[in-house]
Amino acid sequence: MNKIKGLVLSVAAVCTLGACSYDSFSEVEALNSSQAVGSPFTQRLAAEYREFSNVELKEMFDYPDALHFARKGLAASSGEVVLPEPIADWNLSPGHVKELGTARGRLVKVLDTGAREMMPDQAAVAQARFDCWIEQQEENWQNDDISTCKNDFYGALKTLEDQLTTIATPAQPPLVIEPAEPMQIENAVYLVFFDFDKSLVTPEGNSIVDAVVTELQGRDDVEAVSIIGHTDTAGSNAYNQRLAMKRAQAVMDALVARGINPALIRMESRGESDLIVQTADNIREPANRRVSISFK
């Protein structure tokens, strides 16, 4: 984000010298006046992003990041569950990538195992402080702010992890599991997600590919495997069309490497035209960076 940030700061400096104003902060203003809905988690998260975006705008004069986190706050205010910042979206040193990547993995684990529902306030604080930490770490010069965000994040994360560990699970009688009906072919849909502006299948994506192979090997009613590449709206339509096809090709290569007959596979690129999460143009949204795999 540094190049964009520098550009906006340059524009702000020119406007100061030329007695003009930089006032396109409608997202921050909209978040300030919004009435949050949704779950207790999304409402608290919206409040956390509101505070953070206002600090970035009014105290740090960091206009791009203020708008970025205001948009996340607006999404949370509408009831949408937004995710912690992806590591690949920030310009970090290898050491910081490793530390933040491990921290994000722990955070996502507790969020996905009930923290949002059982401890919504603490979960929202943990996510907001993680995002604060990664934003400050990219700038890498305000050591006090880095330490504050980082320490607050780890404090909230430890509380979540400790609480989830101590929740007792009541004893249950042995379950008698009836044989499951085979999955209907039209319901067999898998999603492989990608890092920003990347077409490399991640370790998590390879786990999904393995699941697809296992499913294909266990059934004889598949006539074709459909692989459709997608992107978010950051970048031009033409670029995203190519990027989506590269992602589809990467997934196809992974399937073929595992023994799937390439003659079964049909590839398609939809670029940014078929979003899971509807966003404006030029918005980075992890849920939209994906390849969908289905059977026919």
For every residue of the chain, DSSP letters joined together read: -HHHHHHHHHHHHHHHHTT------HHHHHHHH----S-HHHHHHHHHHHHHHHHHHHTS--HHHHHHHHHHHHHHHTT--PPPPPGGGS---HHHHHHHHHHHHHHHHHIIIIIHHHSHHHHHHHHHHHHHHHHHHHH---HHHHHHHHHHHHHHHHHHHHHHHHPPPPP-PPP-PPPPPPPPGGG-EEEEE--TT--PPPHHHHHHHHHHHHHHHT-S----EEEEE---SSS-HHHHHHHHHHHHHHHHHHHHHTT--GGGEEEEE-TTSS-SS---TT---GGGSEEEEEE-
Instruction: Tell me the per-residue pLDDT of 224-271, one tens digit each, with 9 for 90 and over.
Output: 999 999 999 999 999 999 999 999 999 999 999 999 998 999 999 999
Residue 21 sits in which domain range?
2-162
Answer whether residue 92 is part of any domain.
Answer: yes
Answer whether residue 134 is part of any domain.
Answer: yes
How sure is the predictor about 210, in pLDDT bands with cuts at 50, 70 and 90? very high
Q: In terms of domains, do 10 and 132 share one?
A: yes
The two tokens of residue 87 are 């590591």
pLDDT at 181: 58
Q: In terms of domains, do 153 and 270 share one?
A: no
Answer whether residue 9 is part of any domain.
Answer: yes
Look at residue 180 and tell me whether its pLDDT is greater than 70. Answer: no
Residue 295 backbone dihedrals phi, psi, to 5 degrees: -115, 155
Answer whether residue 173 is part of any domain.
Answer: no
Q: Determine the Cα–Cα distance for residues 28 and 34; give it in Å rounded to an integer.
A: 10
Task: State the average pLDDT for the chain.
Answer: 86
Q: Which of 136, 153, 169 is nearest to 102 (CA)?
A: 153
Q: In terms of domains, do 13 and 137 share one?
A: yes
Q: In terms of domains, do 156 and 15 share one?
A: yes
Boundary residue ending a domain (162, 177, 196): 162
Q: In terms of domains, do 146 and 63 share one?
A: yes
Q: In terms of domains, do 99 and 208 share one?
A: no
pLDDT at 287: 86
How sure is the predictor about 43, in pLDDT bands with cuts at 50, 70 and 90? very high
Answer whether residue 102 is part of any domain.
Answer: yes
Domain count, the chain: 2
Instruction: Tell me the per-residue pLDDT of 15-24, one tens digit each, with 9 for 90 and over.
Output: 333 333 444 5
pLDDT at 24: 57
Q: Determine the Cα–Cα distance for residues 160 and 157; give it in Å rounded to an integer.
A: 5
Owner of token pair 């999460």: 277
Q: In terms of domains, do 191 and 145 share one?
A: no
Q: In terms of domains, do 13 and 89 share one?
A: yes
Q: In terms of domains, do 205 and 255 share one?
A: yes
Answer whether residue 169 is part of any domain.
Answer: no
Answer whether residue 175 is part of any domain.
Answer: no
Look at residue 121 and tell me whether its pLDDT is greater than 90. Answer: yes
Look at residue 76 and tell me whether its pLDDT is greater than 60. Answer: yes
For residue 202, what is the domain's CATH number? Answer: 3.30.1330.60
Look at residue 138 and tell me whether its pLDDT is greater than 50. Answer: yes
177 against 72, higher pLDDT: 72
Boundary residue ending a domain (162, 177, 201): 162
Answer whether residue 78 is part of any domain.
Answer: yes
Q: In terms of domains, do 9 and 151 share one?
A: yes
pTM (whole model) above 0.85: no
Q: In terms of domains, do 116 and 199 share one?
A: no
Q: In terms of domains, do 63 and 155 share one?
A: yes
Boundary residue ending a domain (100, 129, 162): 162
Look at residue 5 and tell me whether its pLDDT is greater than 50. Answer: no
Look at residue 34 and tell me whether its pLDDT is greater than 90. Answer: yes
